[in-house]
Amino acid sequence: MKLILTAEVTGLGSSGDTVEVKGGYGRNYLLPRGLAMLATRGAEKQVASLRRARDARDVRTLEEAQAVAARLSGLTVTLPARSGDGGRLFGRITTADVAAAVTAAGGPELDRRRIELPSSIKSVGTHTVTVRVHPEVNVPVTLDVVAG
């Protein structure tokens, strides 16, 4: 089954990429979630607009990605969150929370979809998250969640 991705899918490709996948994966997972559309002649025009939007959003080159990685590598981000007595949070820390905290700490503005949480962050303490700046550059960022 030939599809055009409308969003970034880990292990498959980025928005605007044309991919060949098994029928069940495309029909039961990618299409219902809006992550892809069928590759038709009319869809090829939409691919151009998806690629333009992706290029504007993505870090352009490897050198630029390494510069962003250098800014992120020494950064320790403090994120205040409401918590109970035992250090357990009310809710959880999301990728949008991490992106806002990195920007507030003086780091570069990040797309929340580029941040990978190891698991749900539901407790106060020090956690490490990974930021995919470029397909070849991953940066670990230390996140210090404090009661606030």
58-113 residue pLDDT tens: 556 777 888 888 888 888 899 999 998 888 999 999 999 999 999 998 888 888 88
pTM above 0.85, yes or no: no
* pLDDT score, position 55: 67
Q: What is the mean pLDDT of residues 129-135?
A: 86
- What architecture is the 2-65 domain classified under in CATH? 3-Layer(aba) Sandwich (3.40)
Please name which of 12, 14, 7 lies closest in space to residue 134, comparing C-alpha atoms. Answer: 14
* Domain 74-147 part of CATH 3.10.430.100: yes
* pLDDT score, position 54: 67
Look-up of token digits 């990605």: 65
- E-assigned strand segments in the chain: 2-5, 18-20, 36-38, 76-81, 88-93, 115-116, 121-123, 125-134, 137-147
DSSP-based three-state secondary structure for 101:
helix
Q: Residue ranges of the alpha helices (H) in 13-141?
A: 23-25, 41-57, 62-73, 95-104
90: buried, middle or exposed (CB in 10 Å: 19+, 13-18, 0-12)? exposed
- How do the domains of the chain map onto residue ranges? 2-65, 74-147
Give 119's DSSP letter: S
**Per mean pLDDT, which range of 6-15, 91-100, 122-131 is the poorest?**
6-15
Give 26's DSSP letter: I
C-alpha 73/C-alpha 82 separation (Å) is 27
